[in-house]
Homo-oligomer: A and B are copies of this chain.
Amino acid sequence: MPLQPDLDLKTYLSKKREMVDAALKDYLPEPEGLTSDLIEAMRYSLFAGGKRLRPILCLAGADAVGPLEKDPLPVACALELIHTYSLIHDDLPLMDDDDLRRGKPTSHKVFGEPMALLAGDGLLTEAFRLMTSPEMSVRISADRLLRVIRLIAHAAGYGGMVGGQAVDIQWEGRKADLQVVKFMHTHKTGALITASVVSGAMLGGAGESEISAITAYGEHIGLAFQIADDILDIEGDSAALGKRVGADIQKGKMTYPAVLGMEESKDIQNTLVQTAIQDLRPFGSSAEPLRQIARYIIERKT
C-alpha cells in the first residue's frame, strides 16, 4: 500500500479493520457439532464491535518497514484474540463483574460463567495456533516467527498483561503511588500494544535499530492509551463508550487522574504522544499511519 504524508487516517483504519474482520471470520470455525456453543461464545465476543487497534498496529508496524500486504494477518488477528480473551475474563463476576461491554451484554451474561471462562481460554490458546499456521511460514522465516510468538507470549503473560491485571486487583481500593499505577498501566495495557506494533515491524523485516525505535514508540503510545482510557472513564460519553462512565472510581481503581489530577494526566499523555512521534524519526512517510495513530489514541472518544 503506497502511503502518503497526507494520508487519511479514517480511510486507513477502516480499510485495515475490514481486512482484519474478514480474516477473523475466515480463521474462526463455524459453530457446529458438540462444541457449537463454545465456538459461538468465542465468536460473540470477537465480533462485538472492537476497534481492532492491536491488529491495526501490527499491520501498520509492518507497513512502516516494508510492503507486506496481508502477510502479518494471522499474527494481527491472534493479537485480537488475546485482547478479547482478556476482556472476557476481566468481565467475569469474580473479577470486575461487568454486565456491559461495547454496549452489549458481556459473555457470561449471555453464555453463563463456565462457558465464558472457557471461551476466554479457547481464544488465548487459538491465538498461538493461529500464529503457527502453515500460511505464516510461507513468507516469514520460521526463526523470525518464533521470535514474534515469544515477544507476544511475554507481553500477554505474567511479565506483561496478566502481571498488570494481578497488580490491578491487588491494589483495588488502596491508595497507590505513581510507580505502582505506571507499572499497572504499562503491563496491563501497554505491553500488548507495544508487542502489536513491534511484532508487525519484525514480520515486515525490521532490523534491530528499527525494532528499538518501534519498541520505544509502542511503549509511549501504550501508556498514553491507558491514560486516555482513565480520562475517558471520567470525561467520556457513556453512550459512545457502550459502558458506564465512572466505573473505575466506583471500583476504587487506581488511575492517572486519581493519582496526579486531570490536568497533569493530560499533559503527560500529550508528551507521550509527542515522544512517540519523535521515536519514528528514522522512518519516512511509510510510518505516517503510526504517527497519526499516536494522535488518534488520545483524541478518540471510545
> Which of B39, B118, B162 has a CB less than 8 Å from the CB of A122?
B162
> Which of B34, B93, B95, B137 has a CB less than 8 Å from the CB of A143?
B137
User: Interface size bucket, A side?
Assistant: 35 or more
What distance in Å separates the Cβ of A94 from its nearest Cβ neighbour in chain B?
A: 4
Q: Looking across the interface, which residue of chain B has its beta carbon closest to that of A29?
A: B158
> Which of B125, B142, B157, B163 has a CB less than 8 Å from the CB of A157?
B125
Contact B118 A165, beta carbon cutoff 8 Å: yes
Q: Looking across the interface, which residue of chain B has its beta carbon closest to that of A132?
A: B150
Contacts of A87 in B (CB 8 A): none
Contacts of A89 in B (CB 8 A): 117, 121
A residues with CB within 8 A of B: 29, 34-35, 37-39, 42, 85, 89, 92-95, 113-115, 117-118, 120-122, 124-126, 128-129, 132-133, 137, 141-143, 145-147, 149-150, 153-154, 156-158, 162-163, 165-167, 169-170, 180, 183
A-B contact pairs, 18 of them (CB 8 A): A34-B167, A34-B180, A35-B166, A92-B94, A94-B114, A94-B117, A121-B124, A122-B163, A124-B124, A125-B157, A125-B158, A128-B128, A129-B153, A129-B157, A141-B142, A142-B142, A142-B143, A142-B146
